[in-house]
Chains A and B, each alone.
Chain A
Amino acid sequence: MTDHHRRPRLAALGLWAGAGGAAAVLAAGLGGGAVAHVGATGVVKERMDLMMEIGDATKAIADMLRGTQPYDAERMRAMARRIEGHGGEAMTSLFPDGSLDHPSEALPAIWTEWERFERLADLMADQAGALARAADNPRGPMQRGGGMMGGSGIMSGSGMMGGGMMGGGGPSAEDLAAMPPDAAFRHLAQTCSACHEAYREEQ
């Protein structure tokens, strides 16, 4: 940093109402560390294992869709069915009220928004089941087609930023099952993401 920048920095330090001290304390308290699944027991361990299995299946699917592994419809179906089986109640039953023991990454919002949490877990199962049924469909682009800003005038189109992406009102399971697996998987991944965003502490 040059002198040119150093001088105003000093002045600003004084100006910002003691910011230096207060903020340094604040910042010091914020140091975090990565927490792995190590040390998990009981239901927390069970659901972490479940999530790991979903992640492994997701990886297998993504690798095929990305082309880093050859596409195999049989394997696609098997992996999607595995995710389906881990959704719904198989998942929600592993989140008993207030189960936040270390090293859980669950957020308490799960229990204040239990219905939404359940809905997302059900949606995940439904979408994964639809993906299994889409496994033999012709392949297509991962990304939503050019309609992004098309027609309806940019950002007003509900599809583009509407509630569907956050876990409500998206395409039906029937619609998904008729899509290219690439597109169906995109919707499934968005459900994972919506749930993680709301209910998982990022480590």
Chain B
Amino acid sequence: MRRTGWIAAAVALAIAAGGAGTWLIGGPTAPPRDLTDLTGDVNRGAYVARLAGCIPCHTDSEAGGAVLAGGGPLKTEFGIFYGPNITPHETDGVGAWTLEQFAAAVTEGRAPDGSHYYPSFPYAFYTRLSDQDIVDLWAAVRSVPAVEGRAPPHDLAFPYTVRAGLGAWKRLYLDPEPAPADWPRGRYLAEVAHCGACHTPRTALGGRDADRRFAGAPTPGGGTIPAITGAALTEAGWTVEDLAYSLVSGVKPDGDVYGGAMARVVQGGTQFWSATDRDALAVYLFEGALGAPITEGETQ
């Protein structure tokens, strides 16, 4: 009896461990979205692409690459990522995808084959997108010319090469919920534009440190990505108007001009925003971000 008991316990334990492992490796699932009744609008979607910063990472502008056909290197603390080809090319792009697969990629970081994307693809932010924005974005993505060719594979440091870890990462850091309807526009923009992807420091596991939202972070080159909290910006002598102006012009209040990744953000994204949206983001960063409960804003 005693022996049988041991075996039963061992089997139960193995099942439990297996279940936990599967639970971890599988990662979380986003709440289902019913997108079937919505109609995508290409022009609105192009604007969403500008808000979400799709182009800077999925287009190699510097090398004269075609739109969304794959990006230049994105250097991070964890290695170098290359945004893939997301033109409607049948095999090299997303030409064979369905809207549902696109939504799962964007809101859940899940590829059509079920595998996980690295969080360098900021789905932890895009999961806040509204249903209509997702459908519009998909229409815009479908509208660009299909281009052959694939981006180089990511060049990562161990242990980040171990993709099985990504499910666990998602369990920790992905909270796949759309933005509540009562969010102010600036807050929605800060999420979708994924400011926190660079300006919030990360833990050793690559999750954002919720206690230090927008507090700045190190660059791989030994520099510093500045803090963009209202307090930090004010201390640095910036005003709401300075920030909004820098997002259209790239020019900082001291006359310096953005370089680094922020140059790409402005050139590929924020310079195309409406003045209203740039103002809303600037106001939110200065006045709203501190008071916003992090559990709803940034993923946690």
Task: Point out residues on A near B: beta carbons under 8 Å.
Answer: 1, 5, 8-9, 11-13, 15-20, 22-24, 26-27, 30-34, 54-60, 62, 66, 68, 142-144, 148-150, 153-156, 160-161, 163, 165-166, 168, 185-186, 189-190, 192-198, 200-203
Contacts and interface: CB of A to CB of B under 8 A. Distances in A.
B172 A155 contact: no
A18 B223 CA distance: 26
Contacts of B272: 144, 148, 160
Interface string B191-213: 00000000000001110001000
Interface string B34-49: 0000000011011101
Majority SS of interface residues in chain A? helix
Interface of B: 20-21, 24-25, 42-43, 45-47, 49-50, 55, 59, 61-62, 64, 67-68, 77, 140, 143-145, 157-160, 162, 164-165, 168-169, 171-172, 204-206, 210, 218-225, 241, 245, 248-251, 253-260, 262-264, 266-268, 271-272, 275, 300
A190 B251 CA distance: 9
A58 B251 contact: yes
Contacts of A200: 259-260
B244 to A, nearest CB: 10
Contacts of A13: 205
| 5 closest A-B pairs by CB | A196-B259, A59-B255, A154-B46, A12-B168, A23-B204
A197 B259 contact: yes
A193 B223 CA distance: 18
Nearest to A52: B255
Contacts of A19: 159-160, 165, 204-205
B262 to A, nearest CB: 8
Given A31-B222, A168-B64, 4 more contacts: A16-B165, A55-B256, A62-B251, A196-B259
B209 to A, nearest CB: 11
A17 B159 contact: yes
B255 A32 contact: no
B255 A15 contact: no
Given A190-B250, A196-B258, A15 B165 contact: yes
B253 A59 contact: yes
B154 to A, nearest CB: 16
A202 B257 contact: no
Contacts of A33: 224
A143 B271 contact: yes
A36 B255 CA distance: 16
B222 A32 contact: yes
Given A27-B77, A149-B43, A62 B263 contact: no
Contacts of B222: 30-32
Contact of A202 (B20, B245, B259): B259
Contacts of B259: 193, 195-197, 200, 202
B156 to A, nearest CB: 11
Contacts of B20: 11
Contacts of B160: 19
A15 to B, nearest CB: 5
Contact of B223 (A150, A192, A194, A203): A203
A196 B257 contact: yes
17 contacts: A8-B172, A9-B172, A11-B168, A15-B21, A27-B77, A32-B224, A59-B251, A62-B255, A66-B245, A143-B248, A144-B271, A148-B46, A160-B272, A192-B257, A193-B259, A202-B219, A202-B221
